[in-house]
Amino acid sequence: MPALSVEPVDLGPRKVARRVLVNAPVNELFGLVADPRRHHELDGSGTVQAAVSGPARLERGAEFSMSMRMLGFPYRITSTVTAFEDGKVIEWRHPFGHRWRWEFAEVFSADAPVPQTQVTEVFDYTGSKLAKSFELSGFPQKNAKGISATLEGLQRRYA
């Protein structure tokens, strides 16, 4: 596996997506993202601080709150899980309508010494009330960097 090989993924307008191959089984990676108490361990943007409240394992319809910090200002955000397919997809929606989505796919290779998983993270602001503001303030580009850093960290963690 090439070192830190994060790929951009074109999913259309107002969707920022990156993909990486991780040397870990899908159930382990999915479990990490499905536990909101561990999101700060994943975050490459530096904005996620810690889980404030929510279940130990996400499921469709679950709500969870996170302590965040951006531009030096602390805040709290409560999200609702809008898609959940065990071992494959987790997506949550922020109050302003944008979504964060994680997709997982097992990769089978006779050459791989360990199980591998393709992980895709998506910032989808197509339905956001703040879409134009996001674009004017450069959030899609900032989130692309944060997603890349998150996926690079995940890849390093299991290297």
CA–CA separation, 78 and 65 (whole Å) = 4
Contact 5, 21 (CB under 8 A): yes
pLDDT single digits (tens) 17-65: 999 999 999 999 999 999 999 999 999 999 999 878 999 999 999 999 9
Confidence of residue 1 (pLDDT cuts 50, 70, 90): very low
Q: What is the pLDDT of residue 50?
A: 83
Q: What is the pLDDT of residue 109?
A: 84
Q: What is the CA angle 48-154-22, rounded to 5?
A: 150
Structure tokens at 33: 């993202």
Spatial CB neighbours of 154, under 8 Å, sequence gap ≥ 6? 20, 22, 29, 42, 119
pLDDT surpasses 50 at 2 = no
Hey, what domains does the chain have and what are their CATH numbers?
A: 7-157 (3.30.530.20)
Sign of CA pseudo-dihedral 129, 16, 63, 49: negative
CA–CA separation, 66 and 159 (whole Å) = 28
Confidence of residue 4 (pLDDT cuts 50, 70, 90): low
pLDDT single digits (tens) 92-125: 999 999 999 999 999 988 887 889 999 999 999 9
Mean pLDDT of 62-85: 94
Structure tokens at 98: 């944008």
